């Protein structure tokens, strides 16, 4: 045992020096060395006598103060001399005495190792170019996108936080796949599939908060400020919080349930008023009947309201998806096509709007007409809103010929086009194309040949109303 170790053992074995050495350590962590004035309050007689013995002083007051330099000098007159006080401290505490700066560096290395561990896991799951890996990398480098939440949990339990971040990363990877389809996941089902717990991503949970950060990063959206914005964010990512959150607004559309026309929606049609339909309302849907042979679908509520207000004739069918195609809209589209109607879809001319239109076209073919989303329409609808790099990647898989050309222009200009800027063009199209022709005839050949909606009257009373009917004898 050398002098420094012997000195440390002596002080460690005498409780009267315990508080004194605790103050020495604080000084070292702060300044990288022990320096300045040491202050001890409410000291005992034993402490005052022990410290005074090193300093060659007598203390009478309960609060004692002394320069550290005097204490270190006093050690050189003890049996342990000569001593290196830094080594005495390290021997006393049984560890290397780190400065505040050194501790910070060590902590940063620990955090970096933590994030690298999670990054390696997510890279193994889906490669280094996934949105989940990008989110994690930018979270660590920019200290954003949920960083504070992760660090808070990391400080409590590194192991649990690693599991948490891997689980959320898996969820973001799954969302990548969901966004490439038209399917929606109930939140509870999504949570259970990813974590085994149907409530893991509920609003207010740590997992739910981090998932929202990841969604915002992927879609370049602001963090939701309230429950409504939270629901909208989830829906735009294909996650349905409940059956009433998925809504489509309709006008001029009759709904059939179990062979009968739904009286509520019939009433809206008769009154020529729009209404909102939820996924819950559509659970038992068996058929629909649009007004006319064209169905117009727009992305934005304001556009929907404007068109309804300014239409020259009201015999049209108009739907509003309020952004991404929700499950309610997705459920209606096959029924609309089965009715014999063609669908005209118009959305914002940005990566999301283009991708929605392209998916519809790819799934249903040329009965989905891309409406007012050409290069020329993009030029008219152009805004000053910049499109981010992440969103721009959504244009890579566009297949529709018209949309592909539009996407090329969007890549050049890097700015979004909005429906609100081409309202008059949309309205003109509907006024020009949206007329319904009513044919009143007793000629059964004409009726059977047309194969359209057939309303049969007898003595002024409707006795039959068929979506695609024939002549009733």
What burial class does residue 332 get, using C-beta atoms within 10 Å of its C-beta: 0-12 exposed, 13-18 middle, 19+ buried?
buried
pTM above 0.95, yes or no: no
CA distance 179 to 176: 5
Domain range summary for the chain, segments of one domain joined by +: 3-97, 101-240, 247-433, 438-473
Which CATH fold would you assign to the domain 247-433? Dna Topoisomerase Vi A Subunit; Chain: A, domain 2 (3.40.1360)
Residue 243 clears pLDDT 80, i.e. is over it: no
8 A C-beta contact, residue 284 and residue 257: yes
Tokens of 271: 């009154």
Identify the weakest region by mean pLDDT among 81-85, 181-185, 246-250, 428-432: 181-185
Whether the per-residue pLDDT at 19 is higher than 90: the answer is yes
Rounded mean pLDDT of the chain? 86
Q: pLDDT for 292-322, tens place per residue?
A: 889 999 999 999 999 999 988 778 999 999 8
Strand 317-320 relative to strand 247-251, pairing: antiparallel
Q: Given this model, what pLDDT does residue 422 score?
A: 95
d(CA 357, CA 347): 7
pLDDT at 18: 93
Percent of the chain clearing pLDDT 90 (strictly above): 52
Q: 416 pLDDT exceeds 70?
A: yes
Which residues, including other chains, have CB under 8 Å from residue 451's CB and lie 6 or more apart? 340, 468, 469, 470
6 CB contacts (<8 Å, ≥6 apart)? 80
pLDDT of residue 460 exceeding 90, the answer is no
Q: Is the pLDDT of residue 445 over 90?
A: no
Residue 336 pLDDT exceeds 90: yes
CA distance 186 to 198: 10
Q: What is the pLDDT of residue 435?
A: 46
Q: Which of 61-65, 122-126, 226-230 has the lowest mean pLDDT?
A: 226-230
> Which of 141, 76, 85 minimizes the C-alpha distance to 115?
141
- As given in the structure block, the two tokens for residue 200 are 């893991």
- Contact of 18 with 50, CB cutoff 8 Å: no
Using an 8 Å Cβ cutoff, are 385 and 340 in contact?
no
Nearest to 453 by CA among 285, 316, 341: 341
The encoded tokens of residue 167 equal: 């689980």
Dihedral (CA of 233, 236, 242, 244) sign = positive
Task: Find the mean pLDDT for residues 409-424.
Answer: 94
- Average pLDDT value for residue range 360-370: 92
| Calpha distance 458→44 (Å, rounded) | 111
Say if residue 450's pLDDT is above 80.
no
Tell me what the mean pLDDT of segment 78-103 comes to. Answer: 79
């Amino acid at each position: 045992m050398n002098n420094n170790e012997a000195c440390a053992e002596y002080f460690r074995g005498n409780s009267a020096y315990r508080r004194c050495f605790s103050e020495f350590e604080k000084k070292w962590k702060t300044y990288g060395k022990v320096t300045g004035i040491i202050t001890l309050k409410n000291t005992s007689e034993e402490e005052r006598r022990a410290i005074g013995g090193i300093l060659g002083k007598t203390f009478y007051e309960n609060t004692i103060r002394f320069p550290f330099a005097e204490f270190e000098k006093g050690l050189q007159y003890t049996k342990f001399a000569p001593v290196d006080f830094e080594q005495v401290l390290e021997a006393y505490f049984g560890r290397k005495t780190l400065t505040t700066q050194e501790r910070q560096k060590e902590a940063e290395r620990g955090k970096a190792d933590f994030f690298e561990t999670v990054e390696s896991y997510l890279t193994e799951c889906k490669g280094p170019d996934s949105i989940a890996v990008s989110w994690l990398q930018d979270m660590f480098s920019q200290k954003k996108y949920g960083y504070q939440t992760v660090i808070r949990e990391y400080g409590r339990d590194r192991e649990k936080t690693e599991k948490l971040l891997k689980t959320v990363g898996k969820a973001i990877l799954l969302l990548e796949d969901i966004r490439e389809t038209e399917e929606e996941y109930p939140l509870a089902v999504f949570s259970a599939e990813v974590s085994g717990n149907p409530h893991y991503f509920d609003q207010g949970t740590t997992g739910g908060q981090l998932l929202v950060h990841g969604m915002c990063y992927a879609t370049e959206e602001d963090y939701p400020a309230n429950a409504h914005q939270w629901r909208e964010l989830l829906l735009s990512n294909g996650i349905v919080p409940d059956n009433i959150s998925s809504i489509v607004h309709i006008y001029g559309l009759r709904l059939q349930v179990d062979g009968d026309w739904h009286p509520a929606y019939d009433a809206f049609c008769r009154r020529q008023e729009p209404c909102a339909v939820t996924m819950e309302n559509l659970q038992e849907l068996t058929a629909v009947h649009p007004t006319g042979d064209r169905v117009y679908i727009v992305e934005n509520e304001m556009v929907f309201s404007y068109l309804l207000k300014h239409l020259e004739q009201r015999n049209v069918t108009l739907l509003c998806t309020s952004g991404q195609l929700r499950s309610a809209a997705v459920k209606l589209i096959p029924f609309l096509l089965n009715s014999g109607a063609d669908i005209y879809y118009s959305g914002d001319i940005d990566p999301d709007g283009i991708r929605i239109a392209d998916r519809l076209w790819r799934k249903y073919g040329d009965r989905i007409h891309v409406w007012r989303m050409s290069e020329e329409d993009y030029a008219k609808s152009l805004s000053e809103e910049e499109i981010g790099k992440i969103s721009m990647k959504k244009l890579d898989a566009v297949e529709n010929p018209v949309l592909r050309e539009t996407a090329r222009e969007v890549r050049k200009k890097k700015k979004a086009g909005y429906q609100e800027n081409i309202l008059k063009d949309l309205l003109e199209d509907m006024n020009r194309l949206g007329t319904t022709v009513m044919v009143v005839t007793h000629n059964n050949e004409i009726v059977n040949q047309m194969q359209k909606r057939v309303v049969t009257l007898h003595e002024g009373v409707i006795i039959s109303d068929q979506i695609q009917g024939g002549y009733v004898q």
